[in-house]
Amino acid sequence: MIARLNGRLLEKSPPWIVVDCQGVGYEVEVPMSTFYQLPELGQPVQLLTHMVVREDAQLLYGFGSEQEKNTFKQLLKVNGIGAKSALSILSGVSVQELMRAVNQQEVAMLTRVPGIGKKTAERLILELKDKFTVTGSTSAQPVVKAATDDILNALVALGYHEREAAATVKLLPTEVSVSEGIKQALKYLST
């Protein structure tokens, strides 16, 4: 099995990328959270990978962090969730948001992910509730989360795509106010 790729980024076409490793180009499918963190073409890149061998294909999935890879593997264990659905989930919500949604049983948040209906969201919560634990909870965390949610909702209301807006919100400082966060996000998006 291929567990890690370390090479040069040759192509980027969401969700697919091609990584050149010593003259061999590996086609890898990555979640959008990893895609947004990739360097420019021709630059070195390192990915953790998960290989799926099927009767009709050998597929390689890449991740920017160990946490993303482990979450992907946990999602594959859920009945009815395949690799495409797992990537869609990781592209639609961060690992922390997924953990929070599972621990707080937020079905509505999971159903915002394309391809995830109410029954699938309920199954995810049921099967993952013992797998995810929230660490480092503080009383300030919900306030920060509410600010980022407000910034994200404002950007979507202004017409930006939710994935693009979510990636931009992740670039903002954690303690930013809603109004300042919107201003900074708009500056990022205009460049």
Q: Are 81 and 75 in contact (CB under 8 A)?
A: yes
Q: Where does residue 91 rank: exposed (0-12), middle (13-18), buried (19+ CB within 10 A)? A: buried
- Is 4-63 assigned to CATH 3.40.50.12160? no
Please tell me the pTM assigned to this model: 0.67
The CA-atom distances, in angstroms, between 96 and each of 89, 92, 138, 157 are 12, 12, 14, 24
Domain with CATH 2.40.50.140 in the chain: 4-63
Architecture (CATH level 2) of domain 141-190: Orthogonal Bundle (1.10)
For 14-111, strand residue ranges (E) read 16-21, 24-29, 44-53, 58-63
Mean pLDDT of the chain: 85
- CATH homologous superfamily for the domain 66-128: 5' to 3' exonuclease, C-terminal subdomain (1.10.150.20)
137-165 pLDDT, tens digit per residue, is: 333 333 345 577 778 888 887 888 888 88
The pairing of beta strand 24-29 with beta strand 16-21:
antiparallel
For 83-173, strand residue ranges (E) read none
Domain with CATH 1.10.8 in the chain: 141-190
The residue count for the chain: 191
Q: Looking up tokens 């979510």, which residue turns up? A: 166
Domain with CATH 1.10.150.20 in the chain: 66-128
- pLDDT score at 188: 84
